[in-house]
Structure 1
Amino acid sequence: MDIIIITFILKRCFLSLFVLLMWNPGCTGGSDVNQKSVLWVKQGDDATMDCSHTKGSSYYQMYWLRQLPGENMERVVFTTTGSTEHDFGRFSPQKFAATKTAAETGTFTVKKAQPADQGLYFCAVSAHVNNYDPAYFGSGTKLTVLETGREITPPKVKILHSLKSERARRNGQKKKTLVCLASGFYPDHVSVSWNCSAGKCDEIATDSAALLVGEHYRITSRLSVRAEIWENPQNEFTCVVRFFDGKIYQDFPEKIQGVEGNSTINTRENYLRITQTAKLSYCVFIVKSCAYAAFVGFVMWKLQSSQRKR
């Protein structure tokens, strides 16, 4: 009896370890597992996602996992070929459904989708010949649920910048920070990129996800460029916001030119000019001081001469 219990526990431990390894996206071979990257449905409609792979018929097991915004990835259902009994774990088959009639394909459905169901849904496949077989993940399907009565709205894009250059913390080098703001769009299918006419853009930092503000989304991206590049009117900086409207991708570019100004890094010519100006100012000061001293001396001499005559 003890041997049976120990054997059961060991099997459960191996299965748990396998599932844990499967949930690690680092184990994926995304080019072998294919999913649609974006899926849009109206609120209350079913959202069905397809998955296929080229790993062969030995990879007959399929897992569906989801990652909601700000949450960790979790397994929703486990399916195998030819079985109608799918393992939903803590999730309800009243909310989710899955099919698996062939080794290389499968489907997953979110029933009566709601805005709270929006997130990334991943398909993973495994042969599970032994407990060390890797799992292969797809790149994920981003599910968007269009709320009732909402219209698709493209973004408004503008570039903001300060009047002065900031001193960067690293290397003491002065830089200019440009902020690209895309706002007023719905839903949140956007990506942001920069183009710099002077060559490769320096440092780019973009928000990890669009933020819902009121009824619309907004996202920002920051570009840092060296001050001497910014202070050249011939240089151009373009922020490109790409928006998916459910049918096609549209680009919304916004451009800004560099502004003429004094270079923030002292060149040799600047240094020589500054030192020459300083020398000239010092000489003028010395001459004025000498003239003032001579005048005072002359006044004192006159006073002394006047007193002797009396």
Structure 2
Amino acid sequence: MFSLMRVFGLLLIYFYSQVGAVTFKEFPPQIVKESIEVQIPCSHDDNAKLQMLWYQQKKDSQSMTLIGFVYGQGSPTYEGQFEQQFKLTKEETTKGKLIIRSANPSDSAVYFCAATDNNAQPAYFGQGTKLTVLEKDHATKKPTVKVLPPSTKECRNKINPDKRKKTLLCVASEFYPDHVKVSWEVNGAKRVVGVATDNQASRPGSGANYKITSRLRVPAEEWFNPNNKFECIVNFYDGTATEDIKKIKYGVEAPDTGNTMNKETYLRKSQIGKLAYGVLITKSFVYGAFVMLVVWKLQGSSGKRNN
């Protein structure tokens, strides 16, 4: 029996995808109804890799489970009870299939095909094929998308205004199943820097629809420009076709912080300044005259005493 621990040891050290001597052909994801037979193909370009392995990775799991393998054109070897649900076939050295005899929602997962010379050699992995088995009475539904503008209170950096940032939030909700990808564009150009998207779509419970969020963080001066266009693009696959659902949010005018003045305000403040200056000059003149009067009186009194 093939050692599961040994396989995981190889997996941790030699996880390759389309590198080195092996290039795997990519196959599209599948969305199927319950109780039907599902075939997931595998194809690569290295005839020297005689052993083909299959793994299953369930959602919310960080590890993969070995289903089984086929060496050369021999009979398949399965781990545990997988033979009851799965069937492994090989048409030739570089081509094979994983067959799910009667799919049910618990089979929803990403299935990886790997190739190696033998158990002691590196295993090379493909990108994986995502399979979703639709839950009973739950039809596919495309997402509702909306983009929320940044908070007006976000990041008021008074020490370093150049580092002020604003965050736009894209929310895609009420979709099923979870075959979505989210991306951002600014003025028609793809934006990667400052983008943070949920690792995967989430749902509140079984039977509910999915939701995913993505955030775009941009410099404040970029947001405070009505000519800038921020676009969230949600790519949704319903099993037969892919659709892009887009939502746009435009930048806004910078808020009035009270530091700018129009002509009327400027003239009014100028007049107030001139009046204040005039009052100050008048007070200074009066004070000077008073001081001179006091000095004159003191001098007059001193002269009388001397006589």
- Per the TM superposition, whether the score is higher than 0.5 is yes
The corresponding residue for 1:6 is: none
Report what 1:43 is aligned to.
34
Indicate the larger mover: 87-96 or 215-224. Answer: 87-96
2:241 to 226, 237, 248: 248
Partners of 2:190 and 2:141 in 1: CA distance: 31
- Unaligned residue ranges in structure 2 (runs of 5+): 262-267, 291-307
- Deviations along 1:259-297, one digit per CA (max 9) or x if unpaired, are 111499x9xx99xxxxxx9999999778778989989xx
CA RMSD of aligned residues (A): 3.7
- Structure 1: tracts of 5 or more residues without a match: 1-11, 271-276, 299-310
- The corresponding residue for 2:201 is 210
Q: Does 1:196 align with 2:189?
A: no
Give the alignment partner of residue 183 of structure 1, picking from 162, 173, 191.
173
Correspondence for 2:58: 68
* 1:164 paired to 2:152: yes
Q: Which amino acid aligns with 2:204?
A: V
Equivalent residue number for residue 121 of structure 1: 111
Moved over 6 A (4+): 168-172, 277-295
Deviations 1:192-213 (A, max 9, x none): 1111018664410011111123
- Looking at structure 2, the residues matched to 204 and 68 of structure 1 have their Cα atoms a distance apart, in angstroms, of 26
Using a 3 Å threshold, how does the CA distance of structure 1 residues 140 and 260 change in structure 2: closer, same or farther? same
Decide whether the 8 Å contact of 1:64 with 1:124 is kept in 2: yes
Report the equivalent of 1:273.
none
TM-score by length of 1: 0.75
- Gap change, CA 1:32 and 1:289, over 3 Å in 2: same
Q: Deviations over 1:58-103 (max 9, x none)?
A: 322110011111211121111123322x222223311221112421
| Separation in structure 2 between the aligned mates of residue 36 and residue 119 of structure 1, nearest angstrom | 15
Q: Which residue of 2 aligns with 1:225?
A: 218
In 1, distance between residues paired with 2:105 and 2:42?
A: 23
1:126 and 1:278, CA in 2 relative to 1: closer, same or farther beyond 3 A?
A: farther
* SS state at 1:21 partner: helix
Matching residue of 1:55: 46
Of the structure 1 ranges 168-177 and 116-125, higher mean CA displacement relative to structure 2 is found in 168-177
In the alignment of these two chains, the number of paired residues is 273
Alignment of 1:1-310 (within 5 A): 17=6, 20-22=9-11, 24=13, 26-29=15-18, 32-56=23-47, 58-71=48-61, 72-84=63-75, 86-128=76-118, 131=120, 133-164=121-152, 166-167=154-155, 173-197=163-187, 201=191, 202-214=193-205, 215-262=208-255
CA distance in 2, matches of 1:190, 1:159: 16
**Pair 24,283 (structure 1): closer, same or farther in 2 beyond 3 Å:** farther
Q: Cα offset for 1:16?
A: 5.4
Q: 1:200 to 1:98 in 2, by over 3 A?
A: closer
Say whether the 8 Å CA contact 2:150–2:169 is kept in structure 1: no
Do the aligned partners of 1:209 and 1:219 also contact (CA within 8 Å) in 2?
yes
Cα deviation, residue 253, structure 1? 0.6
- 1:126, 1:135 within 8 Å by CA — same for their partners in 2? yes
1:226-270 C-alpha deviation (Å, 9 max, x unpaired): 111111111111111111121111111100111111499x9xx99
Q: Which has the larger radius of gyration?
A: 2
Tell me if the contact between 2:170 and 2:215 (Cα under 8 Å) persists in the aligned partners.
Answer: yes
Amino acid at match of 2:112: F
Measured in 2, the distance between the counterparts of 1:81 and 1:196 equals: 51
Q: Please, what TM-score do these two structures have when normalized by structure 2? A: 0.76
Q: Closer, same or farther in 2 for the Cα pair 1:135/1:281, shift >3 Å?
A: farther
Equivalent residues of 2:145, 2:245 under 8 A apart: yes
- The aligned amino acid for 1:253 is K
Q: Tell whether the 8 Å contact from 1:231 to 1:263 is kept in structure 2 after alignment.
A: no
How many Å separate the matches in 2 of 1:18 and 1:97?
19
Q: Is the 8 A contact 1:178 1:223 kept in 2?
A: yes
Contact kept in structure 1, 2:14 and 2:122, CA below 8 Å: no
Task: Determine the C-alpha separation between the residues in 1 that align with 2:160 and 2:80.
Answer: 53
